[in-house]
Amino acid sequence: MSNLDETPRANRLHVAFFGKTNAGKSSTINAITGQEIALVSDVAGTTTDPVYKAMELLPVGPVVFIDTAGLDDRTALGRARIGKTDEVVDKADIAVFVINSADQDLGPEQEYMKRFQAKKTPVIIAYNTFGGDGAGVAAPSGENTVVIDAKTGRGIDALKEMIVRNARDYELPSIVGDLAKKGDSVMLVMPQDIQAPKGRLILPQVQVTRDLLDKGCRVISVKTEDMVSMLGELKNPPRLVITDSQVFQYVNEHLDKTIPLTSFSMLMAKYKGDIEEFVKGARAIAGLKPGDKVLIAESCTHHAMKGDIAREKLPGWLEQFAGGGLVVENTAGHGFPENLGEYKLIVHCGGCMVNRKNMLSKIEHAKNAGIPITNFGVAIAFLNGMLSRVSY
């Protein structure tokens, strides 16, 4: 968990390093950061699960470097490691391939490069000379190709510059977008129930508050039960009301219909994913019937408590709408189960703990499988007949 003064990992530029075992990925990361953050060994397969390191890379700002397992590990354990590396493919904003300059077989690297090209993910190739002078290295020319020596540091500055250059187009949009502007008063209606962590606000509430403050908005934060009295005390109505999707109905019933209304989850759906695809997926709820399988996916793991939105409330609302029992399954983590084609619908959480690239990759996987996908907040808006009421 991040400290309050740290940029969440999900909002950092993800730079992932790929290559064969002992190609020098870990040494390259250590050379870039100037820290021994990745374990270096002459024993093949030292890096198992991906290793994440958050840091500041000027002038880009907050980034996270990801060290992955070797692409050529074909052992039983290696196949499991490759599975973890494949998950990183869906998260990487920039991919850096570290290649032994003496290696003539680039089949595994080329296979992965094609996947990144399909995702329009920038690819950088770093040929590691392992203490040599680099003479005779058959490195293809190109603006994203560089010869380095991870041991001596030669070429590392040039590699940094390539990362910075490819990061220039990386900028997360405003969470609130054009729904609010400088000088607007925005009311946040935030139920503090058993789902809210004691002593803290949930991450989307924190991020939306910061986004509004950055815009120069005036933020009014109230609990659900205080909303009506606060509206009565205001000289002018708020320009926008943002609430938890679980209390959509209550807030809507007590709010003037001329005041735009949205939810934290709706905003996260647009911020992290494809809101139009989520709206289309929500409309697929109308076609659910008893016996259909529905996947409810969360990006993070947490202890399920009574009244849990993913395990109790949403399944109950969906079953009531479908007119009978659905086969509802829950999953948590950064990927989807292999049997994705068995489901009639995927309902995903707000995705506050994953980066935008990962969420867009999940949407892509769902579309490729022909499965509608939506988001908690969008689904709840549809179930309450409020899709036309909410703003996004």
Over 318-374, what HEC string results? HHHHHCCCCEEEEEECCCCCCCHHHCCEEEECCCCCCCHHHHHHHHHHHHHCCCCEE
For 9-167, CATH gives: 3.40.50.300
Strands 240-243 and 261-263, by their bridges, are parallel
**Sheet strand arrangement including 373-375:** 327-332, 293-298, 345-348, 373-375
Position 133 scores a pLDDT of 60
Task: Report, at the CATH architecture level, how domain 177-266 is classified.
Answer: 3-Layer(aba) Sandwich (3.40)
DSSP string covering 126-188, please? Answer: EEE-TTS--TT--PPP-TTEEEE-TTT-TTHHHHHHHHHHHHTT--PPPSSGGG--TT-EEEE
Domains 9-167 and 177-266 share a fold: yes
Check: CB of residue 163 under 8 Å from CB of residue 214: no
Nearest-angstrom CA–CA distance, 143 and 128: 17
Position 193 scores a pLDDT of 62
Residue 358 is encoded by which pair of tokens?
């990962």
- Model confidence pLDDT, tens digit, residues 14-72: 999 999 988 999 999 999 988 765 544 444 545 457 889 898 888 888 999 999 988 98
- Model confidence pLDDT, tens digit, residues 143-176: 799 999 998 999 999 999 999 999 987 777 899 9
Distance of CA 168 to the CA centre of its chain: 19
Burial of 41 (0-12, 13-18, 19+ CB in 10 A): exposed
Domain ranges, ordered by start, for the chain = 9-167, 177-266, 275-383
Strands 51-57 and 61-67, by their bridges, are antiparallel
Burial of 296 (0-12, 13-18, 19+ CB in 10 A): buried
Strands (E) across 19-164 are located at 51-57, 61-67, 94-100, 123-128, 145-148
Position 222 scores a pLDDT of 96
- Average confidence score pLDDT of the chain: 87
Check: CB of residue 271 under 8 Å from CB of residue 8: no
Distance of CA 21 to the CA centre of its chain: 27
- Ramachandran class of 6: left when φ > 0, alpha when ψ lies in -120 to 50, beta otherwise: beta
- Model confidence pLDDT, tens digit, residues 177-219: 999 999 999 999 998 765 555 667 888 899 999 999 999 999 9
CB atoms within 10 A of CB 107: 8
Residue 355 is encoded by which pair of tokens?
């980066």
Buried/exposed 198-233: b ≥16 CB within 10 Å, e otherwise: eeebbbbbebbbebbeebebebbebebeebeeebee
pTM confidence score: 0.80
* Rounded average pLDDT over 344-367: 92
* Rounded average pLDDT over 339-343: 94
Nearest-angstrom CA–CA distance, 366 and 295: 11
Task: Report, at the CATH architecture level, how domain 275-383 is classified.
Answer: 3-Layer(aba) Sandwich (3.40)
Position 42 scores a pLDDT of 47
H/E stretch holding 77? helix 76-89
N-to-C CA span, the chain: 29
Residue 245 reports pLDDT greater than 60: yes
Position 154 scores a pLDDT of 92
SS3 content of the chain, % helix, strand, coil (to 5): 35, 20, 45
Check: CB of residue 268 under 8 Å from CB of residue 352: yes
Nearest-angstrom CA–CA distance, 328 and 188: 31
